[in-house]
Amino acid sequence: MRRAFVNARLLDPATGLDRKGGLLVLGEHIADLGPHIRPDQLAPDIEWVDCGGHCLAPGLVDMRTQFREPGQEHKETIDSVSRAAASGGITAMVGLPNTDPVIDDVAVVEFVARRAREVKLVKVFVYGAVTKGLAGKTLTEMGLLREAGALAFTDGCKAVRDAQVMRNALSYARGFDALIIQHPEDPDLADGGHMNEGELATRLGLAGIPTAAESILLERDRRLVALTRGRYHAAHVSSAEGLEIVRRAKAEGLRFTADTAPPYFALNELEVEDYRTFAKVSPPLRAEPDRLAVVQALKDGTIDVIASDHAPHDQESKRIPFAQAEPGMVGVETLLPLALELYHDGMLSLLDLLHKMTVAPARLLGLDLGTLAVGKPADLVLFDLEKPWRLNVKGGVGKSKNAPYDGRPVQGQVRMTVVDGRIVYQAAET
């Protein structure tokens, strides 16, 4: 395959590149890029795509997605989530191990890899479970899972609640420099809670989850990381208190990183008024000061990565009383336009924003992705930075439609997604 993308604004957060030009793809890799890649300079046999002056950047690397396959294919499959991700500009994604069966066995890792090869859209990776069956008791065979392809280890949407188990996991994983990813929410303090603890929860008559549930577990884990010198990552940190602990851990030189997701910087707890179950997530949407703290942490580098936190659910799991509804919302299709709000609001530069969705997660997970460089995989997203439109969750290509963003005005739209030089998504002309 010989294809050039011309008349683009080239953006590479890994190198700070931001200039007009073109990019040449030979086979699956980037062969050249720069202002000299123009139609009049190309050999006649090279196909070229006019980017119309839009942004051409590395494809997004989403480090937190729930596939639902195997086990809950009525909610999502590797095929449907891959199509949804491609339409959102994601070229690589990593699935949590909370499938059925759980990804705590080499056979399940190999099953997902086989399904990804069959679908052949975006690149699909998985995490292995920290504990067998996500039960929090017995460590999995991390070494074998790692050899089979598991990128890192997590119990997904469950915290590793036992301090000794977490200590052992950090120590064991350190032996092969593997990352342990925690859902930082104390299960005892969160037990029975359905939304953020506070005045609104009281008024709605719903049991609340205090921010202390997050900060207590993060503080415990900070000390365990100091004790073991392991690699630790806190997923979807949602509170000002929790972020202060991440900040302290980084200042101490610990290998302690964090991510967040659009719900935690684009929404606050007011979204759950009228018992809107589509806004029920775990950890819960917090109060406005916590949302602002998340934005500040993105600006000052406390938060390293923005992930989609894609959690698909069917109508039967969401169209029920709030206390009974499953937590989570879909996110792969809306990741980029919601994140671009941070740029359009003047909170982050465009390169800093893209850094948190491309090269930062790639480096954290040891993937040779997320940059525009000669010899690297031709994984690309082409997007119109200024395009105004309204999110249409119901019209998305994923199987589940559980998100509270329907009709939200945004600015910025994916036009094309390319994986290993193949065009896997192209927007309709509007």
- For the record, the structure tokens of 208 come out as 């609340």
The half-sphere exposure of 218 on its side-chain side, counting CA atoms within 13 A, is: 28
Give yes or no for a contact between 182 and 217, defined as CB atoms under 8 angstroms apart: yes
CA distances from 379 to 24, 60, 61, 123, 368 (A): 12, 9, 10, 10, 11
Residue corresponding to tokens 């990776």: 125
CA dist., res. 191 & res. 182, Å (int): 17
Give yes or no for a contact between 111 and 73, defined as CB atoms under 8 angstroms apart: no
Give yes or no for a contact between 174 and 230, defined as CB atoms under 8 angstroms apart: yes
CA dist., res. 383 & res. 99, Å (int): 32
Residue corresponding to tokens 């997320």: 370
- Residues ≥6 apart with Cβ < 8 Å to 256: 222, 225, 232, 233, 234, 246, 249, 250
Question: Pick the catalytic residue: 12, 104, 155, 309?
Answer: 309
Q: What angle do CA 134, 104, 326 make, to 5 degrees?
A: 40
- For the record, the structure tokens of 309 come out as 């936190």
Give yes or no for a contact between 46 and 55, defined as CB atoms under 8 angstroms apart: no
Give yes or no for a contact between 381 and 5, defined as CB atoms under 8 angstroms apart: no
Handedness of CA 142, 146, 150, 152 (dihedral sign): positive
Question: Is 274 a residue of the active site?
Answer: no
To 10 degrees, the CA torsion angle through 402, 405, 410, 412? -10
Kindly list the catalytic residues. 309
